[in-house]
Structure 1
């Protein structure tokens, strides 16, 4: 089964549903629509959720909008800064839309 990692600082936003997309580069675009993916923290590789991939859409950095920022639970300025820190000089990106399926919350099990 495929997996995806997120920085720890995004964990709560994923779990509470305020972050519903992730923007990645070409190396992480090959998720199959409908697949269930294990989600781990980047820093400690700690599992915390499963997500269902809903869509993978190509986008240019210059095409990012407030809508994308809202789906990432940040401002457009913050989103562009984060993306540039992670992917400096990358113009071709991919928006991965996902839905939370299960979490590490014991009340969810």
Structure 2
């Protein structure tokens, strides 16, 4: 279900959800994420909701190496609001960690430079 582990993987503990391991994103991963996204939107012009959820799921499905027991995005209840808050929480933690690897500078720091 999840991708194979590699030495570049990193771990995150997401409060209220559990422990995850993610792969560091590569160019190939980014292409896989875009293909996964295209599958989710199935050729339609996505609504804001579809754009957001398809984006979260695409990234999580491609980059997840290990997840807590019971974490299965395909089996999550789409009518449970808690489903979306958990997905967003995990996605946000992942993206925040990725930004820290790439040394993305805040707007305030750019202005000073």
- Rg: which structure is higher? 2
TM-score (norm 2): 0.29
TM-score (norm 1): 0.29
Looking at secondary structure, tell me which structure has more helix per residue.
2
Looking at secondary structure, tell me which structure has more strand per residue.
1
